[in-house]
Amino acid sequence: MTEKNYSFETLQVHAGQVPDPVTGARAVPIYQTTAFVFDSAEQAAGRFALTDAGNVYTRLTNPTTAVVDARVAALEGGTSAVTVASGSAAITYAILN
């Protein structure tokens, strides 16, 4: 959505997400899962090593937080963002990365 000059208010509601192609639903679903399926052991290894993009484990990323990350980045004018589960996790990410 950031290619166009949307207002801040519009970005707050729509950035980082497109309507579901099957249902047309606009709201972001909340994925209450902790684990994801992999096509192979190699794919799982690549994702856990963070060399392959995709969901691994909800504490790292999931479809819901991916939308939040994209939305915050759009609102702040950045290229990406990271959401974490706690302030301690944020401090750890900031220091170790």
HEC secondary structure over 52-63: CCCCCECCCCCH
Q: How far is CA 65 from CA 4, 32, 39, 50, 81, in A?
A: 23, 11, 22, 17, 10
CA–CA–CA angle 3, 10, 24 (5° rounding) = 85
Q: Tens digit of pLDDT for each residue in 51-69?
A: 988 888 877 778 888 888 9
Amino acid 2: pLDDT: 45
What is the share, in percent, of the chain residues with pLDDT greater than 90?
Answer: 20
Q: Tens digit of pLDDT for each residue in 18-44?
A: 888 888 888 888 888 888 889 999 999
Domain ranges of the chain: 8-96
pTM score, whole prediction: 0.68
C-alpha–C-alpha distance, residues 89 and 97, integer Å: 12
